Structure 1
Amino acid sequence: MMERPEMKAATQRKAVPAASLPSGRLRLLVGAALLVAALLGLGLWASLSGGGEGLRTNLAERSLPPSWGHPLGTDWLGRDMLVRTVQGLWLSLQVGLLASLAGTAIAAAAGLSAALLGRTADRIVSWLMDLFLSLPHLVTLILIAFVCGGGLRGVLIGVALTHWPSLARLIRAEAMQLRSADYVAVSRSLGKSRVWIMTRHLLPHLLPQLLTGCLLLFPHAILHEAAITFIGLGLPPDQPAIGVILSESMRYLNAGLWWLAVFPGVALLLLVGAFDRLGHAASALLDPGRSQQ
């Protein structure tokens, strides 16, 4: 007996599993999100409280090892390292967020321009992407930050201009596929402009890729900000950035003050690792194909 079309369609729908994130990746996503939320909460608390007594010079308690009163010890001026580390992480988060958002915006503009503005624009953008990807990443970042005068502005410009090519290449490839869709052809036949098609058709479909790309750029921005601040081309010494703390601690390692470098370094690695895991888990969640792997 012939099976009716509606029964056959229902059977096929039951046979296809719904896209869902595996339990292991779901736990990973939740764990990374909780760790990020805890770090954000600590940073917000440190920012609102201003550090208080923990950032004041107290020579009577200088160079103390970790204890109940000072879980991460004190530095050579008696400042509490826990407060300094948390404030440094909060500052790194702010700089990393601004830099990753700027890099994502550049990648979106470059990828969409290459896909929609003709062959000349595609060749120019592709040449720029190949140029930035062929140069040593950290060296380019240092040169840009140096040319821009260092400081917060140099860090933001340097990180933003060196972290866009990989994401822009992905956005360009996705936009190339979307521009051949039927609804895009219909909009072109109706006389819609390229900007209208870009903002109404392509950009909404590319938002998951842009969100994931921004999350994946975030830990790189934080790490590279700390790196160029460590060598003196980033944030000024009067700001408690992690790079500044690590740079200052190098002078006291020979004196046995190991906690000045170990705890801020571990905190930075935890922050970068948490956002990296969060970005990969979000990528698997937003990509139905990867979510079944």
Structure 2
Amino acid sequence: MKEQMRVEIGLPKLHHQQKLWISTTIALGILLTLIVISNGLGTTGLTTNLSQRNLEPSASHLFGTDWLGRDMFTRTMKGLLLSLKVGLTAGISSVVIASMMGLAAALTGRTVNRFINWLTDLFLSVPHLVTLLLISFVLGGGAKGIIIGVALTHWPALSRVIRAEVMQLQTAPYVVISRNFGKSQWWIASRHIIPHLVPQIIVGIILIVPHAILHEASITFLGMGLSPHEPAIGIILSESMRYLSSGMWWLAVFPGLCLLVVVRTFAMLGENLKQFVNPQHAHDK
């Protein structure tokens, strides 16, 4: 329906490669902007200044100030960069676990395969947020608890994709020929299988990052994540709930919108990359 409307009004159809380039440019632009602005602002806006508290958005304070006179623009930019760091670290850790589990399930014996499948079903049967809260609580919260929690709860779905891919590659002619020539399992995995998994691994990292950012914000919002002394988005939103009834709407609106833009941008990048590497859409590249 959307494609038909696009044709009727004369708009050109974007192929998957064009969508990927556009989303990649936007994501890199946002990432570089956050890094430059966050490092350029310094820590002055994070200090308490009671003479400038509760100021509405203006040219000098784009996002206004909070009840302690701290600049909300500075807190938001640094909080988003911190969330991105936590999300990237958690996403990479989760993908590493998923890759190891997927390879082990496909390349080892039936016993290991059954155990990994059982473990995957176990993690998938429990909601992510519940497991994340439990892990974060046990580890004492903080960035370490969130990273470990995300890494231990987001690997099952990707591990099944990797396992299926490896099982399919096992029957490929070049793999069979290498096996007939007496090549070891590690040689076949490092030369033939792992290079073919790179696209799935990259897509997995990019798709997990938005989930990790949202889970970090939600756990921090509930008080079991990052320290209250850090400029995290979850802390900013949690603290702003007490002042919304007083008319200080900017404390939650601007940080929430920025979080939504960042998460949505990386989610779109992951979806476009997923479509791009999909063999069914190879003719659209």
Give the structure-2-normalised TM-score.
0.90
**Does the alignment pair 1:191 with 2:182?**
yes
Map of 1:71-86 to 2, 5 A cutoff?
71-86=62-77
In structure 1, the residue matched to 2:205 is: 214
| 8 Å CA contact retained: 2:16, 2:272 | yes
Counterpart of 1:259 in structure 2: which amino acid?
W
In structure 2, the residue matched to 1:103 is: 94
In structure 2, the residue matched to 1:42 is: 33
In structure 2, the residue matched to 1:248 is: 239
**Does the alignment pair 1:60 with 2:48?**
no
Q: 1:160 to 1:186 in 2, by over 3 A?
A: same
| 8 Å CA contact retained: 2:55, 2:65 | yes
In structure 2, the residue matched to 1:265 is: 256
Give per-residue Cα distances to partners, 1:100-123, cap 9 Å, x unaligned.
000000111100110001111110
Q: 1:83 to 1:206 in 2, by over 3 A?
A: same
Counterpart of 1:65 in structure 2: which amino acid?
E
Q: How far has the Cα of 1:48 moved from its partner?
A: 2.4
**Does the alignment pair 1:131 with 2:117?**
no
Q: How far has the Cα of 1:26 moved from its partner?
A: 4.6
Q: How far has the Cα of 1:71 moved from its partner?
A: 1.4
User: How many percent of aligned residue pairs carry the same amino acid?
Assistant: 54
Matches of 1:233 and 1:214, distance apart in 2: 24
In structure 2, the residue matched to 1:147 is: 138
Choose from 14, 28, 46 the match for 1:23: 14
Structure 1, gaps ≥5 residues long: 1-21
Matches of 2:182 and 2:17, distance apart in 1: 45
Q: 1:50 to 1:67 in 2, by over 3 A?
A: closer
| 8 Å CA contact retained: 1:284, 1:291 | no
Give per-residue Cα distances to partners, 1:69-124, cap 9 Å, x unaligned.
21111111111111111111100000000000000001111001100011111101
**Does the alignment pair 1:181 with 2:177?**
no
Choose from 34, 42, 49 the match for 1:51: 42
Q: How far has the Cα of 1:248 moved from its partner?
A: 1.2
Matches of 1:42 and 1:159, distance apart in 2: 26
Map of 1:218-237 to 2, 5 A cutoff?
218-237=209-228
| 8 Å CA contact retained: 2:95, 2:155 | yes
Q: How far has the Cα of 1:291 moved from its partner?
A: 4.8
**Does the alignment pair 1:277 with 2:268?**
yes
| 8 Å CA contact retained: 1:42, 1:86 | no
Structure 2, gaps ≥5 residues long: 1-12
In structure 2, the residue matched to 1:118 is: 109
Matches of 1:50 and 1:127, distance apart in 2: 49
| 8 Å CA contact retained: 2:46, 2:71 | yes
| 8 Å CA contact retained: 1:227, 1:243 | yes
Matches of 2:32 and 2:117, distance apart in 1: 41
| 8 Å CA contact retained: 2:41, 2:74 | no
Q: 1:292 to 1:63 in 2, by over 3 A?
A: farther
Q: 1:151 to 1:211 in 2, by over 3 A?
A: same
Q: 1:63 to 1:46 in 2, by over 3 A?
A: same
Matches of 2:102 and 2:39, distance apart in 1: 39
Give per-residue Cα distances to partners, 1:5-43, cap 9 Å, x unaligned.
xxxxxxxxxxxxxxxxx6254554344323322321232
In structure 2, the residue matched to 1:9 is: none
**Does the alignment pair 1:201 with 2:192?**
yes
Give per-residue Cα distances to partners, 1:146-183, cap 9 Å, x unaligned.
11221111001000011111100000001001011222
Matches of 1:25 and 1:184, distance apart in 2: 30
| 8 Å CA contact retained: 2:95, 2:158 | yes
Q: How far has the Cα of 1:244 moved from its partner?
A: 1.1
Q: 1:178 to 1:25 in 2, by over 3 A?
A: closer
Matches of 1:25 and 1:155, distance apart in 2: 33
Q: How far has the Cα of 1:242 moved from its partner?
A: 0.6
If you compute each CA radius of gyration, which structure gives the higher value, 1 or 2? 1
Bigger Cα displacement from structure 2, 178-187 vs 95-104: 178-187
